[in-house]
Structure 1
Amino acid sequence: MRILLCVLPLVAAVAGLLPAGAQTPAGGAVSDFDFAVDAVERAYAGYPDKTANRAAEYAALKERLRSGIASGRDTYDAVAEYLGWFDDSHLGTEGVRTYRPKSVRRPSDYAARMERYDPQFAHCRVDGETYLIRFPSCDLNEEQAAWVRTAVRAYLASGCANLILDIRGNGGGSDSAYEPLLKLLYDHEGVEDAMEYRVSDLAIAHVREFAGDTERGRAKIARMERTPAGEFLAGERKTYRIRYDSVSPWPRRVGLLIDGKVGSSGEQLVLEVRATSRRTTVYGQDNTLGCLDFSNCEILYFPQDSTRWMMLPTTRSCRVSEGRGIDSAGIAPDVRIPLPLPGELTDNVDEWVRWVAEELKTKNLK
């Protein structure tokens, strides 16, 4: 079962609905902090890995934050620091980036460094040999899903040998959103790491919501209900195969263009393309965000102030237990683009796209 929920766009959407000045009623402050701690320790898939060999540090963190709340610190600022300590972009709440070490280490505020950073869905010819499909989100409505299929057909009708798939800014969504694009780039069967659930009531609810009406989903729920809470569900496959029935002869060469905003299902697309497409080269300047090791998130609302929320991943990639996690560094491009950031990134053909187009013309097939 391979389900990756839209998480980064969801955070922005939820945060936009919350009143900035909402406060917890007097006397209930610590209970919402304890609610966050209980949810993390009980259901967060990253909890065993993130606290390993750090028990004393973790205990001291909780004690310090509780003392701060008792002395008048805002509860939800303390919750943000608590969640930020885990350094997981899928574990969050409003204000968490201030405390997340990764956010400090790897800034990617392109909007502040460019005249305009607002990547839009777009497809067009770059030149006589190269076509561009810009795909800035995996969080699609029906119209956008239809647009992806239209873009693939338009490329195939263009006669261009080369394709640039530009996913800069793609912060995630559903894996199924990019399937028409993956099929287009696919040229051999591949294998990727599967996800494993840390068993909890939240994880069971997640499976029930997204797969509970299938035979496989019902069987998984039954096994989860027999598994002790807090353990990872045993007996699951550690990998899954990616195989399609045919290989498109076009494109001949592909440039997959990334940046530091690419996360979650955007990163899964990068991994699956690398696993199944020898004709694709990944271009960029920064590594991706690093937001994929722990996934399949649930949104929880606090009992004392239901306008406040936190997001919690229920699954762990099987690569984590083998020491191959990607979140600490993100995914590196194959080729680092040696140019300044473009002036604008919207629905335009920018300087990086033109540079990659020239690179593809001189590149031999792998």
Structure 2
Amino acid sequence: MPRLTVLIAQVLSSPAAAADTTCARDFEQMTAIVTRDYAGAPAKITPARMPALTALTDSVRLAVTVTDANGCTVQLRRWVAFFRDPHLSLAQLSPPPPSAPAVSGPPRDNRPSLRREDDSTLVVTLPSFGASSKARIDSLFDANWTLLTGTPYLILDVRGNNGGGASSYDAVLRLIFTDSMPPAEFETYATEGNAARLEQFMANPGFPAALKADMGKLHGAMRGNPNGFVRAEPPARRGYDRVHANPRRVAVVIDARCVSACEVFLVDAQFSRKVVVVGASNSGGMVDYGNLLPIPLLGGRHRLSLPIARAWWLPAVSYDNVGIAPALRMPDPTGDPIAFARRVLAAP
């Protein structure tokens, strides 16, 4: 997601000491925060849906007075599920020990890679757009720029990419660019609570000094437009100063594990006339609301992840729980996606 997501994770300290260990206290705090400060609240808490939300709230409020610690988490998540936003989530800080030892596989390799598939086709694999990925992707593209701009067909494999930050894929957009894109920055929900939390993070000694100016602009915009949706800068379309002759055609290979910033990349990439998105399924559908603030709840057992910003494409289009569909869907979902992409690129 946009950089605030990564930034907050970097400066977040450990949760404050618990002031109240009851599930009921956590529930009341959580419902107040979500209904007041969640960026999706204005669109999702509508008069038509209020009766259902009220009935659910009453049901969970009764359940949390009698449930045990683990049952508490179940009940709180039942309430959160009403909003059908994968980014709006609740973590249990002290989960019960597993009943059996967890079986772990090899560590995930998030490094981007490039290989030549044939004389006219390159395949670039982008497993992540996380904080460490920007330098890796930039380095890969810088080292191979002559090859990338001298080869007619390019396959970008983003299967399994679980997101990160939009800045990580800037080099990719620079290569495939043809037409300008809408502003990248999400619109932040300028509630009193969100502005106060941003102020708290900026005051943290670990907050990067280089970003204070930009975040200060966002904070000022929030204070100047209470309960509106704001940006740090006036919206402006994005683009690059050159359209490269090669690659002539680009296939982006997706699956259901492409989520969050990976899906923002799909939206951006499709503004290029060179690009076609291919795959056996839609992307994961976890993208409409972002810039997550992690908020420890007072009971000391839970942390709420609160999206405080919305995507520019709302409300005209919504991708949450639906995903972004491939322009060309593989007829055989068990087939080889790279081979399918090669056939698409080679077609007249």
Q: Sort the TM-score into its range (normalised by shorter chain).
A: 0.7 to 0.9
Deviations 1:132-180 (A, max 9, x none): 1010111032xx4333123324263264311101111112101000000
> How many pairs does the alignment contain?
315
CA distance in 1, matches of 2:25, 2:49: 24
Q: Work out whether 1:203 is the aligned partner of 2:194.
A: yes
Say whether residues 1:78 and 2:68 are aligned partners. Answer: no
Alignment pair present for 1:330 and 2:323: yes
Relative to structure 1, the CA distance from residue 156 to residue 353 in structure 2 (aligned partners, 3 Å threshold; closer, same or farther) is farther
Give 2:262's aligned amino acid: G
* 1:61 shift after superposition: 0.5
Measured at CA, do residues 93 and 156 of structure 1 come closer, stay the same or move farther in structure 2, by a change above 3 Å? farther
The match for 1:41 is 35
Is 2:246 the counterpart of 1:250? yes
CA distance in 2, matches of 1:238, 1:258: 32
Note the C-alpha offset of 1:327: 1.6
Contact 1:194 1:240 in 2 (8 A): no
Classify 1:172/1:234 alpha carbon distance in 2 versus 1 (closer, same or farther; 3 Å).
closer
Displacement of 1:202: 4.7
Match of 1:181 in 2: 172
What is the alpha-carbon distance in structure 2 between the residues aligned to residue 235 and residue 147 of structure 1? 29
Equivalent position of 2:121 in the other structure:
130
Q: Secondary structure at the match of 1:254?
A: strand
Aligned twin of 1:355: 340
| Worse overlay, 197-206 or 176-185 | 197-206
Partner residue in 2 for 1:221: 219
Give the drift of 1:190. Answer: 2.8
CA contact (8 A) 2:280 2:333 kept: no
Any idea what the Cα deviations from partners look like across 1:94-118, whole Å, max 9, x if unmatched? 48xxxxxxxxxxxxxxxxxxxx996
Match of 1:304 in 2: 299
| C-alpha displacement of 1:234 | 5.8
Change over 3 Å in CA distance of 1:236–1:281 after alignment to 2 = same
Q: Report the CA distance shift for 1:294/1:134 in structure 2 as closer, same or farther (over 3 A).
A: same
Residue 59 (structure 2) aligns with = 64
Quote the Cα distance in structure 2 between the aligned partners of 1:235 and 1:164: 34
Q: Which runs of 5+ in 2 are unaligned?
A: 93-105, 203-207
Partner Cα separation in structure 1 for residue 124 and residue 154 of structure 2: 8
Rounded to whole Å, the distance in 2 between the matches of 1:187 and 1:235 is 26
1:27–1:263 Cα change, 3 Å: closer
Tell me the residue number matched to 1:154.
144
Q: What is the match of residue 88 of structure 2?
A: 91
Q: Which residue of 2 aligns with 1:99?
A: none
Q: Distance in 2 between matches of 1:190 and 1:212?
A: 24
1:314-355, CA deviations, whole angstroms, 9 ceiling, x for partnerless residues? 01224324x32222421111100123336xxxxxxxx21122
Is the Cα–Cα contact under 8 Å of residues 64 and 72 in structure 2 kept in the other structure? yes
Tell me: CA distance 1:221–1:340, structure 2 relative to 1, closer, same or farther (3 Å).
Answer: closer
Residues 57-88 of structure 1, C-alpha deviation per residue, up to 9 Å, x if partnerless? 10111110111122325221111111111100
Inter-partner Cα distance in structure 2 for 1:222 and 1:6: 21
Could you tell me how far 1:27 is from its partner in structure 2?
Answer: 6.0
Per the alignment, do residues 238 and 283 of structure 1 end up closer, same or farther by CA in structure 2, a change over 3 Å counting?
farther
The alignment partner of 2:64 has SS state of helix
TM-score (normalised: structure 2): 0.80
Output the CA distance in 2 between the equivalents of 1:27 and 1:140. Answer: 34
Distance of 1:174 and 1:61 partners within structure 2:
34
Cα distance in 1 for residues equivalent to 2:108 and 2:298: 36
CA 1:26 to 1:200, structure 2 compared with 1: closer, same or farther past 3 Å?
closer
- The question of whether the paired residues in 1 share the 8 Å contact of 2:191 and 2:228 is answered with no
**Partner SS, residue 64 of structure 1:** helix
2:257 matched residue in structure 1: 261
Q: 1:86 to 1:311 in 2, by over 3 A?
A: same
SS of 2:309 mapped into structure 1: strand
